[in-house]
Structure 1
Amino acid sequence: MKSKTQSFIAALTIVLVAGVYALPSYAVNFDKNVPANIQKQMVEDLDFINQIQGNGQTPFHKSIYGNVDGATYKKFFETHIEAVGMNSCGGGAAVACVIPFLNPNKMWLTKNFVEFSHPQVARVMIVYHEARHSESEHGNWGHDTCPTPFLDENGKDMASIWTGAKLAGQPACDSTEKGSYGSSTIMLKNISKFCANCSDKVKMDADMYAIDQLGRIDQPKVKAAMLADFNATAK
């Protein structure tokens, strides 16, 4: 049995900083144990998101982030995450985490973030998922325990798109669109739909990972509301 503390850490997974890696639009503090190539990659990923230009957004996106716009995403990140480091938090299946009692504004990366290769927009998804966990005023948006069994529409075990780890019984689901899985799903779906300067590949990747992450929403009414939101445009 995991303790409540272990489960909470497992539910909030990423990493933080000591040096400063800078590109024109970002300066990110990294702990010395974050590999140099990962530091460079993350800053490039953040610079990519900063350049997004959108031509609309859904109501849920508007309420969480604002407009689909690089400046909006940049402000969200910079007001949530102060540093990035390496940690073995969340057990062997975790990709990243926030550990609120150490520093709610520090993101910790695990070896799974470093060792697995995924598209740029998927890496951005992880970063903004963890940024949402920094919100102490909302209890850091702790996750639900996924049901057991936890099966997809084809009757197969639900598994992490990042590591392939099975999700049944793990703190890896959300019951609200406002949590880390819900908000990052909404972000990616809006990028796929409204990004005016993204390539077709980026929009396709964003849609694919958004659809996968939607599977982490364990309340049918919330999932239905999100699907309806994806077909709406906020004024």
Structure 2
Amino acid sequence: MKQFIIGVAMLVPVAGFSYSFDKDVPADIQKQITDDMGFVTTITSEKASNLHKEIFGAVSGTVYKNFFEKRVYEIGLNSCGNANAVACVIPMWYPNKMWLTQNYIKFSHPQIARLMIVFHEARHTEDDFGNWPHATCPRPFLDANGKDMCSIWTGARLEGEPACDSTPKGSYGSSMIMLKNISKFCANCNEKVRMDAGIYADDQFGRITSERARKQIREDLYN
């Protein structure tokens, strides 16, 4: 008779949060995302754009914490199938688990940029919406200056890659809207946080390829 062995990941709970880490997630990665999530819970604001209200609700640390915890139950370590990957969700394995790679702490990016990544991935857990799949970036894919569009994280060219969105409510669109709202409306963020949020939001706006979606975002946040 064949024996079937089912591996059970040992989980490490996180104080103050409802998600847990697999035990193989290195301590430095655990600390970094715990610090990042701790920061996002402190955000306050009295304003929010209409698209932000539709996706998240208020610009609020409590709202962001609840949004994340309703979608991500566990965090593991995985290569995510790409040397440039930072994080991923693998719905066929476990739709409510987010996987981080070593790149989460390897690249030198501001805290708000890492939060952009994890909230992007949280959107991919929503199986009611087909996990919000990426759109394929066009060929060629050029910026306003005629230069190749590249990842702000890795520098990799994006043309022809499944690394864009055709809706403001997808993974790139929603995280971009979150950061742009923080940039414009966060009441207790310092100038650097707001500046970084604006830089990364504007970069992600470049990945929205549908003109209709771009128009919605411009009217919501850029006018």
TM-score range, shorter chain: over 0.9
Which among 166, 183, 200 is matched to residue 192 of structure 1? 183
Unaligned runs of 5+ in 2: 1-8
SS in 1 for 2:72: coil
Residue 228 of structure 1 deviates from its aligned partner by 0.9
Q: 1:133 to 1:55 in 2, by over 3 A?
A: same
User: Residue 29 of structure 2 contacts residue 102 of structure 2 at CA under 8 Å; is this kept in 1?
Assistant: no
Partner of 2:92: 101
Counterpart position of 1:137: 128
1:19 and 2:17 aligned? no
* 1:44 CA displacement: 1.2
Asked if structure 2 preserves the Cα contact closer than 8 Å seen for 1:151 and 1:157, the reply is yes
Gaps of 5+ in 1: 1-15
What is the match of residue 197 of structure 2?
Answer: 206
Residue 20 of structure 1 and its aligned partner are, at CA, apart by 2.2
TM-score (norm 2): 0.92
Distance 2:124 2:210 in 1: 20
Which of 101, 111, 115 is equivalent to 1:120? Answer: 111
Scaled by the length of structure 1, what TM-score is found? Answer: 0.88
Q: Does 1:65 align with 2:56?
A: yes
1:33 aligned onto 2:24: yes
Aligned position for 1:223: 214
1:46 pairs with 2:37: yes
Aligned partners of 1:52 and 1:68 also within 8 Å: yes
Q: Is the 8 A contact 1:17 1:83 kept in 2?
A: no
Check whether the contact 1:45–1:123 (CA below 8 A) recurs between aligned residues.
Answer: yes
Distance in 2, matches of 1:36 and 1:111, equals 11
Q: Which amino acid aligns with 1:18?
A: L
2:46 counterpart residue number: 55
Deviation (angstroms), 1:68: 0.5
Q: In structure 1, the residue corresponding to 2:35 is in which secondary structure?
A: helix
Runs of at least 4 residues of structure 1 off by over 4 A?
none
Q: Which residue of 2 aligns with 1:12?
A: none
1 CA distance for matches of 2:72 and 2:202? 26
Residue 91 of structure 1 pairs with residue 82 of structure 2: yes
The 8 Å contact of residues 17 and 84 in structure 1, kept in 2 or not, is answered as no
Partner of 2:166: 175
Work out whether residues 21 and 40 of structure 1, in 8 Å CA contact, stay in contact via their aligned partners in 2: no
Q: Report the alpha carbon displacement of residue 61 of structure 1 after superposing the two structures with TM.
A: 0.2
- Alpha-carbon shift at residue 221 of structure 1 (Å): 2.0
